[in-house]
A and B are shown apart, each in its own frame.
Chain A
């Protein structure tokens, strides 16, 4: 009986699992293996080189730069997106006018492809002729070179990322808010609690499961969302806005070095594994896996 059940379950799982294994687990293993090999070109046979690629990696200043950038990129986009998403959800959930119009406005970036709107952001950011600097010029401020100044370029990319993400995350908060009982808030208001106090003591704690879900998604996005780099900065100036996944792409598809690209990918995989472990062991696993 048990073995028959077993077979049925595995048969049901088989198609999905085989795709997952073929395009997630197997390539992961191959990537790890490749990171220990090297060949002069794609037509030459590869050979085992031990940790040589990793030695190159440790000595590669661009690698350390993209790691640093990715750290700041995550730190800059994740909390901001989440905070904005909560505020947006509260607004849209409250009784101000035209909430559906607001909701629509906030959600619009979600359905616009990053790569196409990046060109429009390029106009916003452009010095001399761009929208932001035209507006700043109206009040007599000479705006910065948003994408060309090494101190600002990465932040400019972050702003666009937050713009893209916040509305998407808002929806999850909105869903959560609508499941909360209004009685709770009425009671708190009767007791004369301030808006901020109600949020801090009641709303925010109740939104915690959503926050954890959104948090993980936002962190993952910080690693995989590089579309706008292709249009806006290409990682420049001097790698000041370069990110790990874009560097992997450059290495593999501009420098045609799949071995070093594999080595960089292993670092990415290790980082993701670390995040997964933190998620499972530090954060409450019941919330996510129930």
Chain B
């Protein structure tokens, strides 16, 4: 269309992009400047690393990070394993009750574990799993979304490939492992990314089910660290935020092409 439309469109694109990274830019500003400049902007503001030091002193970020990594990994590994088996069964096996089983699975797409925090909390308390990694992970170990995605992908695998593998003497699980899993690699990657970013950021359930540093992930740790009740100190909170999101942010910046492309190529559409 007319060129002013192009210009307008471009400008708004960049403006919106700027707005979208504004919180991150501010976090950098506040974290690297003395507290007096947390709410005031001046080109002459001196730089400092002190906020990082005091943030690091005030919360055990290292432990939180470790907890988050362990929880995220535990969930991911279990999800990949369980969803592969279930996805294969639903995609390639014919059996009475398949529709019913699939419907059972799909329920979780709607009834997310977040809705059931109260009852699931009671279950975990009964199992004495409150404040453990396993407790944080349990409601998420099987993912309807993962089963659904893998079922869709496995369905597209030609029957001939499966038959050929069978002729070569591969067993049931062998076929899944040698034929289906490699073919579905992009799906696995995409699902892993969704899963990791979801559980890295998950807050409500971990808040409910963790009590101590033994299992508390970064999100909950940050919520306690930055709770407005204690009087907001944006410099230290920003420094803490950067420490907390740093690893994921760096990974993301390095692999962002891969990251975004695997989302796109996985057929989540």
Contacts and interface: CB of A to CB of B under 8 A. Distances in A.
A31 B118 contact: yes
Interface string B87-119: 011100111101001001101101111111111
Nearest to A277: B110
Given A17-B101, A91-B9, A172-B269, A252 B117 contact: yes
A265 B260 contact: no
A22 B120 CA distance: 9
Nearest to B68: A113
A106 B163 CA distance: 45
Nearest to A96: B10
Nearest to B222: A116
B232 A21 contact: no
Contact of B118 (A21, A24, A252): A252
B98 A249 contact: no
A64 interface: no
A6 B95 contact: yes
B249 interface: yes
Question: Chain B CB within 10 Å — which of A171, A253, A273 has the most?
Answer: A171
Contacts of A167: 20
B196 to A, nearest CB: 10
B35 interface: no
A230 interface: yes
A102 B14 contact: yes
Contacts of A113: 200-201, 203, 218-219, 222, 244-245
Nearest to A259: B118
Interface in B179-229: 197, 200-201, 203-204, 207-208, 218-220, 222-223, 226-228
A281 interface: no
Contacts of B47: none
Interface of A: 2, 5-6, 8-10, 12-13, 15-17, 19-28, 30-31, 34, 88, 91, 96-97, 100-117, 119-124, 129-131, 134, 163, 167, 171-172, 174-176, 178-179, 194-196, 209-210, 213, 220, 223-224, 226-227, 230-231, 245, 248-249, 252-253, 258, 261-262, 265, 268-269, 272-273, 275-276, 290
Interface string B58-101: 00000000000000000000000011011011100111101001
A290 B152 contact: yes
B115 A105 contact: no
Given A5-B93, A17-B101, A224 B115 contact: yes
B82 A15 contact: yes
B24 interface: yes
Interface in B110-150: 110-123, 138-139, 141-142, 144, 147
A120 B26 contact: yes
A96 B8 CA distance: 12
B4 interface: no
Given A105-B17, A252-B117, A119 B1 contact: no
Contacts of A10: 89, 95
A106 B17 CA distance: 6
B142 A245 contact: no
B51 interface: no
A209 to B, nearest CB: 7
A31 B116 contact: yes
Contact of A224 (B26, B39, B88, B112): B112
A176 B9 CA distance: 21
Contact of A102 (B17, B108, B172, B263): B17
Contacts of B27: 117, 120
B89 A110 contact: no
B256 interface: yes
Nearest to A276: B110
Contacts of A111: 197, 200-201, 245, 248-249, 252
B16 interface: yes
